[in-house]
Amino acid sequence: MASKLFVDVAPLRKSPDYRYLFIGQTISVVGNSVTIVAIPFQTYQLTHSSLQVGLVSFAQLIPLVLGSLLGGAYGDAHDRRSIIMVASLASVITALGLTINAAQLHSLAAIYVISAAAAFFLGFANPARASAIPMLIEPEDLVAANSLNQMTFQIGSIIGPALAGVIIASAGLFWTYSIDTVTFLIYVFATWMMKPLPPTPGARRPGIGAIAEGFRFLKGRQIIQGIYIMDLDAMIFGAPVALFPALAADVFKVGPTGLGLLYAAPAIGAFLGAGTTGWVAAVRRRGRGIVIAIIVWGLAITAFGCTHWLVLGCVFLAVAGWADVISAVLRGTMLQRHVPDEFRGRLSSFQMAVVQGGPRLGNAESGAVASLSSPGFSVISGGIACVVGALVLARLMPHFWNETPDDEPEEVTAQIES
């Protein structure tokens, strides 16, 4: 019974290369999560504006999407290990730039430019990393690997924000950003230890044509479309991360350590969810599972917006994180089930653009609404909009709602109804 509840660690046991990817990525996510807290904290410290915090995040959107699209096309035609290594080395440079800015320049413009460059390289590496997973494991371990992959992000997203809050309060932003630099170097070394991951034979050369071909592949495939659109609904309306600095200072009345807890809380819930996903492999109506998880996410975010007690707020955020990781595991499994290998890099790039870009759109949305009303109203209205959006989309996408593991990918051709 316990084996059906807890996450299956078979991929870590069976594949040394997957172990290297898991360890390197986990350590890197810790550093990146530290920076995710440091950038909005520094921005709010310089401007005292939630709108500016949201705009800094929004400025990363186009570079992130562009990097993801290019990275997906290159990932289908080049060695994926090399792509991860090169992008990680470039990320070392951007982390150094943020470190220098914190020590010497204290420039808002530098935050905009460097964080946008960092988002590009993150986007470029993500499709190669995601599409590498099926190359490193057996097909029967796919759900387990996706669950472990979610645990990777959640472990880092728990440790990173908590660490950031402590270091910002005790040592300052210079040392906070320095952690990201070191962890990216470790990620480069871990990736170097892996075997090469060559492209699919006969893969199309990267370029605009290859990216366009990926978009054409989406036409009529409602299940894959639904994976992206559902996540956008959750992240655009139900991800009020840009408001955390203002909420910490003005609503919860806490300093950097409390701010770190707000950032860590969703990851704590997600970590617990990812660690108990043994049952997810038995879910047959995966589209329905995603819709239900997004509704739980939206309701938890709405409840978070209604409380002024930090502990209770963190509990609601943890519940939201739990629901989000269930949705993410189901979405990742559906995507890898319904996409052929020759399109896996490009379709993974679209997924990464959504996963990483959606929260940035959400930051801009929540920051803009808060500037016109209040942070509390922005959180509550966004959570409600998320729930309504999930219900409407479920109605509009019956093939996504009724998807099962028995569906043949090439038979799923219904387009989203207008």
Cα distances from 327 to residues 285, 289, 292, in angstroms, run 12, 7, 9
So what's the pLDDT on residue 299?
97
* pLDDT single digits (tens) 315-372: 999 999 999 888 888 887 787 777 776 676 677 777 777 877 788 888 888 988 998 9
Closest to 186 (Cα-Cα) out of 80, 352, 18, 30: 30
Q: Which two tokens stand for residue 393?
A: 């989309």
So what's the pLDDT on residue 407?
61
So what's the pLDDT on residue 412?
40
The number of beta carbons lying within 10 Å of the beta carbon of residue 229 is 17
108 near 42, Cβ under 8 Å? no
So what's the pLDDT on residue 410?
40
For each of the domains in the chain, give its residue range(s) and CATH number, in order of start: 2-411 (1.20.1250.20)
Dihedral in degrees, nearest 10, Cα atoms 328, 56, 298, 130 = 0
Instruction: Supply the DSSP symbol for 200.
Output: P
Angle, helix 16-47 to helix 256-275, in steps of 10 degrees: 150
Closest to 32 (Cα-Cα) out of 163, 151, 147: 163
So what's the pLDDT on residue 320?
95
Q: What is the largest CA-CA distance in the chain?
A: 58
So what's the pLDDT on residue 150?
72
Q: Show the low-confidence residues of the chain (pLDDT under 50).
A: 1-3, 410-418
Closest to 131 (Cα-Cα) out of 184, 209, 51, 68: 68
Q: Which two tokens stand for residue 160?
A: 């990173």
Closest to 225 (Cα-Cα) out of 129, 147, 338, 333: 338
The number of beta carbons lying within 10 Å of the beta carbon of residue 92 is 18
Q: Which two tokens stand for residue 377?
A: 């109203």
What b/e readout covers 248-265, taking b as 16+ CB neighbours within 10 angstroms? bbebbebebebbbbbbbb
In sequence order, the 6+-apart residues with CB closer than 8 A to the CB of 154 are 267, 268, 270, 271, 273, 274, 321, 325
So what's the pLDDT on residue 415?
37
Q: Could you give the CA distance from residue 133 to residue 151 in angstroms, rounded to a whole number?
A: 14
240 near 377, Cβ under 8 Å? no
So what's the pLDDT on residue 3?
47
Give me the residue label for tokens 């078979």: 10
Q: Is 86 helix (H, G, I), strand (E, B) or coil?
A: helix
Q: Which two tokens stand for residue 275?
A: 């660690």
Q: Could you give the CA distance from residue 42 to residue 102 in angstroms, rounded to a whole number?
A: 8
Q: Is 176 helix (H, G, I), strand (E, B) or coil?
A: helix
Question: For the whole model, what pTM was predicted?
Answer: 0.71
Closest to 259 (Cα-Cα) out of 272, 271, 246: 246
